Amino acid sequence: MTDPIDPWPGDLVPVGTGDMFVRGAPALAGAEPAVFVHGLGGSSTNWTDLMDLLRRPPADGRDGPALACEAVDLPGFGYSPVPANGDYSIDAMAVAVSDLIEKRGNWPVHLVGNSMGGAVAVRLAGRRPDLVRTLTLISPALPDLRPRLIPLRLTLMCAPGVGPWLLSRAALRMTAEDRATLVIKDVYADPDRVHPKRRAEEIAEMTRREGLGYADAVLVAAARGLVAEYFRQGPRSLWRDAVRVTAPTLVIYGSHDKLVRPSVAAAAARVFRGARVVLLPRTGHVAMMERPGVVANEIRGLLAATRHTAPVGDATATSG
């Protein structure tokens, strides 16, 4: 078994909401900008393998660009410091990502989001169409109130006083290795697909986060922000934002996803205009980590299909 590559290096980037840690993969000349947004409890390293594939031109001669890939650590996650305003809502995260895109000055970008990051990406694409060239969503956390065990566990964690208590109890009972094993079991259809190096990286990150002193509070606050979106009604809801999306869209679900119900794919196909909606067999919640090659091929198909279409906006036209 070949060892996977190391995570891409990164730096803190000042944005309007505070510093945000951003990892970048070396880009070829003419590569088009892409921004990747992780899910709840994740980080920019979730995109390591997919970024490696997409930063290269298609090997099969397919039309479509290589991507200049940047993955963010959302405020309070990964190596990003906590935001000064303590706001972990989906709105605040969307603003943080849009601030980064505007700071880079090379929009519109190919925007990719997983889970909570998918919700952030939908909000951004729905309300700032000028910033988004294409939209790819991987198991996006869009409102679905039908009960499932793991989402119910997440909702329970959001109850006042309950989340910190549950997490502190878990910390007493479980090692970082135990917690990493539980997370992998929750998000992969087949945990045996996780390379030992990636498992070791996950354990190391769990250990590092536990020593920060604020990681559990950030997790609970972000979970509350996400759950609040599930109950939001009217024109500012995530499904209404999905209706507003004008960028060419790809939505990927996993057949064995334990967090996002695979049947939501039917709703996504109805709501996102002209989107390609894909249900991957034997795949869990993090398809970009479990099956990066398959996801890369799907994204390349989206890029090839939109290669000769004019972007919604450009940095010169929008920033002026």
Could you read off the pLDDT of 99-144 as tens digits, one per residue?
Answer: 999 999 999 999 999 999 999 999 999 999 999 999 999 999 998 8
Task: Answer yes or no: are the C-beta atoms of 34 and 54 closer than 8 Å.
Answer: yes
Q: What are the chain's domains?
A: 10-146+233-319 (3.40.50.1820)
Question: How many angstroms separate the CA atoms of 257 and 304, rounded?
Answer: 28
Residue 234: per-residue pLDDT: 82
Residue 213: per-residue pLDDT: 87
109-114 and 132-138 beta bridge pairing: parallel
Using one digit for the tens of pLDDT, what is the confidence trace for 280-296? Answer: 999 999 999 999 999 99
Q: How confident is the model at residue 170 (pLDDT cuts 50, 70, 90)?
A: low
Question: How many angstroms separate the CA atoms of 133 and 261, rounded?
Answer: 27
Residue 49 has pLDDT above 90, yes or no: yes
Residue 319: per-residue pLDDT: 30
Task: Answer yes or no: are the C-beta atoms of 218 and 86 closer than 8 Å.
Answer: no
282-286, 296-300, 311-315: least confidently modelled range? 311-315
Residue 87 has pLDDT above 90, yes or no: yes
**How many CA atoms within 13 Å lie on the side-chain side of 281?**
0
Q: How far apart are the first and last CA of the chain?
A: 51
Largest pairwise CA distance in the chain: 56
